[in-house]
Amino acid sequence: MKKIVIASDSFKGTLSSIEVCHIIKEGIKKIRPEIHTYEVPIADGGEGTLEAFLNAVGGKKVVKTVTGPLFDKVEASYALLSDGSAVIEMAQASGLLLVEGKENPLETTTYGTGELICDAIEKGCRKIIIGIGGSATNDGGVGMATALGVKFLMANDEQIVPTGEGLAMLDRIDVQSLNKKIADCEFIVACDVDNPLYGENGAAYIYAPQKGANEKMVKILDENLKHFAGIVHRDLGINLQQYKGAGAAGGLGAGLVAFVNAKLKSGINILLDTVDFDHLIMDADLIITGEGKIDGQSLRGKVPIGIADRAVRHHKPVIAVVGSIGDETEALYERGIHAIFSINQRPESFDIAKKYSKDNLFKTVESIMRLISVIE
């Protein structure tokens, strides 16, 4: 064995993707120092997206004070890449971590994400990649679009409050004041889910409970998104319900499609194309990937499956090293993952296990390399 490519997501709440890749490299080198390793920290549009792109392409972070999800002021970062494009992680401005203890998707807004987009445009960016994982919102992206100049009006011509609750009052949409520079921009949305905007598999029913919504709130939010989609269809001629991923980030996916003509793409594939991953693995003997938890949901565009799909094209073996292994993993083997290893050394709660994640990850990779050395 001469070359191993390490391409892992973060272990959310524990280790960044950069840390995971580095620890895996150290585990490999302890047993087989002669093996060439290549690290590709991965993110699929959620936590770590900025760092992953900066690591891949180079550039700098920009810090800006924007409107947080509860209309307070927060500091948010985005990336200006060396190729002139920008990467925005919506969770920086509109994320769930910013409302800890005050979760209520009826009252949250994506306005701050729109302010980050405006800032990137004013700095000359004409290609903007937006990662939309980890949101605290369910406003259909009207907050974001309001920041860009779109007017969402009530019957009395006053503007609605751009929140999930405010959508109920929407009567018509006026795009005449939309930032004119947007017409010259390309927007790519890094999206790791394929949920529709509304309905039983939509933004509200699937994700709003994670953001603090009870059963009654979920029903209201879903009805409001359906109402919003109807107004968009009438006023703009766009059928948002037909777009896979429109329900991502509480409907921000839909808002980006409707108001900036964004393309919704697999987050991991955007990054893999950026680093020319197919070329990187051409001469690899093994690919090691990973994420915090792997289960049947990983089939819906998560990092390990994105890696496996690329590996299958070139007949490369893939090992997944993960924090925990959930249900319905058999299908993962059919997609190109050859083996899955959990780093946990003993049965214990996450609060305890996360304290030992670095050591446990290192030890697990060390054991894998010892096994490979025996059977080679």
> In this structure, what token pair is assigned to residue 54?
């900066």
> In this structure, what token pair is assigned to residue 282?
């051409």
What percent of the chain is modeled with pLDDT above 70?
99
Q: What's this model's pTM, rounded to 2 decimal places?
A: 0.86
Return the pLDDT at 211: 96
Map residue 287 onto helix, strand or coil.
Answer: strand
CB neighbour list of residue 86: distance below 8 Å, 6 or more residues apart: 78, 79, 80, 120, 123, 125, 127, 128, 129
For residue 298, pLDDT beyond 80: no
Q: What is the DSSP string of 168-235?
A: GG--EEE-TTS-GGGGG-EEEEEE-----SSSTTSHHHHHGGGGT--HHHHHHHHHHHHHHHHHHHHH
Return the pLDDT at 346: 79
Return the pLDDT at 79: 96
Higher pLDDT, 295 or 53: 53
* φ/ψ (deg, to 5) at 84: 95, -5
If pLDDT is split at 50, 70 and 90, which confidence band does 301 have? low
Return the pLDDT at 106: 98
For residue 60, pLDDT beyond 70: yes
For residue 171, pLDDT beyond 80: yes
Mean pLDDT throughout 100-115?
97
For residue 267, pLDDT beyond 90: no
Structural domains in the chain, CATH included, are: 3-40+276-375 (3.40.50.10350), 49-267 (3.90.1510.10)
If pLDDT is split at 50, 70 and 90, which confidence band does 67 have? very high
Least confident of 135-144, 195-204, 330-339: 330-339
Mean pLDDT of the chain: 93
Return the pLDDT at 94: 97
Higher pLDDT, 269 or 359: 359
For residue 116, pLDDT beyond 90: yes
Higher pLDDT, 149 or 83: 149
Higher pLDDT, 130 or 275: 130
If pLDDT is split at 50, 70 and 90, which confidence band does 300 have? low
Burial class of residue 324 in the structure, from the number of CB atoms within 10 Å of its CB (0-12 exposed, 13-18 middle, 19+ buried) = middle
Give CA separation, 347 vs 196, 293, 371, in Å.
37, 15, 23
Mean pLDDT throughout 317-346?
90
For residue 297, pLDDT beyond 80: no
For residue 342, pLDDT beyond 70: yes
First to last CA, the chain: 8
Higher pLDDT, 122 or 48: 122
For residue 21, pLDDT beyond 70: yes
Map residue 268 onto helix, strand or coil.
Answer: helix
Return the pLDDT at 192: 75
